Amino acid sequence: MAEFAEPLQRLIAELEKLPGVGARTAERLAYHLLKIDRDDAMALARAIRDVKERLKTCQICFNMTDGELCRICSDRSRDPSLVCVVEHVRDLIALEKVGSFQGLYHVLGGKVAPSEGKSIQSTTLGALLARVKKGVIKEVILATNPDAEGDATSLSIGQHLHNSSVKVTRLARGIPVGGSIEFANVEMLREAMSGRQEAGNK
Ligand SMILES: [Zn+2]
């Protein structure tokens, strides 16, 4: 890349690190950024900086937020007795797109993955148990992904909630095994949510 001026070289190298961006696309994007208005280019730079510097995790549910609590936890019209447990924020976003769920969420930030040495303790389970202990939650909906690790995660959470008085349910098996909540379509997710069943580990 010695043919490019140093700042341009650096931009291409950074763009090339993005998923799905090869050397040629990185060059094309870099030329595009060179060409556009300074304001537009700076808006992109600021947007990147802001997601890294201003986004925090919600103190209650671990969703992303730029305040103390996320917009879902601060929404008084939502039902605090219903909590849907997901692996990642992107799963929460997929379920929110369905628009039918009126409860709150809990983002685990991970899952049980024995091959990577990750137990349920590597997730935010402790915070979920503390939320349940407060007595407001009546139902915990396990919405982990339908794969071996997601199943192991749900099973473990079910066991930890075994002695509490909350009802523990799982999404109906609408999403194909090995598929993911993130990429399931809206209809599928709506059916999986409305057809949820009591988890069989009581
Ligand atoms: Zn929240």
34-90 pLDDT per residue, tens: 999 999 999 999 999 999 999 999 999 999 999 999 999 999 999 999 999 999 999
pTM of the complete model beyond 0.75: yes
pLDDT confidence tier of residue 185, bands split at 50, 70 and 90:
confident
Cα of 104 vs centre of ligand 1, distance in Å, is 8
> Is the predicted pLDDT of residue 158 greater than 90, yes or no?
yes
Spell out a b/e string for 133-171, using b for 16 or more CB atoms within 10 Å of the CB, else e.
eeeebebbbbbbbbeebbbbbbbbbbebbeeeeeebbbb
Predicted pLDDT at 74: 97
Overall CATH class of domain 70-198: alpha beta
Residues of the chain with CATH 3.40.1360.10: 70-198
Give yes or no for a contact between 189 and 95, defined as CB atoms under 8 angstroms apart.
yes
CA of residue 82 to ligand 1 center, whole Å: 13
pLDDT for 199 = 85
Residue 100 pLDDT > 90: no
Q: Is the pLDDT of residue 146 over 70?
A: yes
Q: Where in the chain is the domain with CATH 1.10.8.420?
A: 6-53
Q: What is the pLDDT of residues 108-126, one digit of tens each?
A: 999 999 888 899 999 999 9
Q: In the predicted model, what is the mean pLDDT of residues 149-163?
A: 93
Q: How large a percentage of the chain has pLDDT more than 70?
A: 96
The yes-or-no verdict on residue 175 having pLDDT over 80 is: no
Residue 173: pLDDT over 80: no
Q: What 3-state class would DSSP assign to 20?
A: coil
CB–CB of 78/100 below 8 Å?
A: no
The secondary structure of 46-114 as a DSSP string is HHHHHHHHT-EE-TTT--EESSSS-TTTT-TTSEEEEEEEESSHHHHHHHHHH----EEEEE-SS--BG
145 alpha carbon to ligand 1 midpoint, in Å? 20
Q: How far is the CA of 160 from the centre of ligand 1 (A)?
A: 22
Residue 7 buriedness (CB in 10 A; 0-12 / 13-18 / 19+): exposed
The rounded radius of gyration (Å) of the Cα atoms in the chain is 21
Chosen CATH of 6-53 out of 2.70.150.10, 1.10.8.420, 3.50.50.60, 2.60.40.2130: 1.10.8.420
Q: Give the closest residue to 33 by CA, choosing from 19, 48, 20.
A: 48
Q: Is the pLDDT of residue 202 over 60?
A: no
Alpha carbon of 63 to ligand 1 centroid (Å): 5
